[in-house]
Amino acid sequence: MAFFKLKLHWQILIALVLAIAAGLLAGREATLLGVSVYSIFDFIGQLFLNALKMLIVPLVVSSIIVGVSGIGGSRNLGRLGAKTIGYYVLTTLLAVLAGLFVVNLLQPGVVEGSAQEVFGLSAERAGFEAQFADKDAGDIVEVFLRMIPTNVVAAASAGQMLGLIFFSLLYGYYLTRIEGDHAKVQGDFWNGMFAIMMRITDLIMRFAPLGVFALVAKTVADSGIEVFGPLALFFLTVVAALGIHFFITLPLLLLLAGFNPLRHYQAMSAALLTAFSTASSSATLPLTMESLEKNAGVSNRTTSFVLPLGATVNMDGTALYECVAVIFIAQAYGIELGVATQITVVLLALTTSIGVAGIPAASLVAISIILAAVGLPLEGIGLILAVDRILDMMRTSVNVFGDSCGAVLIAKSEGEQGILQGPARG
In order of 47, 82, 351, 370, 382, the CA distances from 367 in angstroms are: 30, 28, 11, 5, 11
Q: How far is CA 105 from CA 195, 327, 396, in A?
A: 49, 11, 24
What sign does the dihedral 413-415-419-422 (CA atoms) show? positive
- Quote the CA–CA distance of 224 and 200 in Å, as a whole number: 35
Query: In one letter, which amino acid is 263?
Result: R
Give the three-class secondary structure for 35.
strand
What's the confidence (pLDDT) of residue 365?
Answer: 66
- Cα Rg of the chain (Å, integer): 22
- Decide: helix, strand or coil at residue 36: strand
CA atoms within 13 A on the CB side of 163: 18
**Side chain identity at residue 115, one-letter code:** A
Residue 188: per-residue pLDDT:
92
Residue 280 in contact with residue 315, Cβ under 8 Å?
no
Other beta carbons less than 10 A from residue 361's beta carbon: 15
Contact in structure between 80 and 317 (CB atoms under 8 Å): no
Task: Residue 97: name the closest of 341, 342, 368, 372 by CA.
Answer: 342
Looking at residue 315, its amino acid is: M
- Per-residue model confidence as pLDDT tens for the chain (426 residues): 677 777 777 888 888 889 888 888 888 888 888 888 889 998 998 898 888 888 878 887 887 788 777 766 566 667 888 898 899 989 999 999 999 999 999 998 876 665 555 555 443 444 444 444 444 454 556 656 767 888 888 887 876 776 787 888 888 888 888 888 888 899 899 989 988 988 888 888 788 889 888 888 887 887 666 656 667 899 999 999 999 999 999 999 999 999 999 999 999 999 999 888 888 887 888 889 999 999 999 988 889 888 888 887 788 998 999 999 999 988 887 788 888 888 888 887 887 776 455 443 457 767 877 887 777 777 777 778 767 778 888 999 999 999 999 999 999 998 898 898 755 444
pLDDT at residue 28, rounded to an integer: 80
Answer for the pair 55, 202: CB distance below 8 angstroms, yes or no.
Answer: no
Rounded distance between C-alpha atoms, residue 129 and residue 370, angstroms: 14
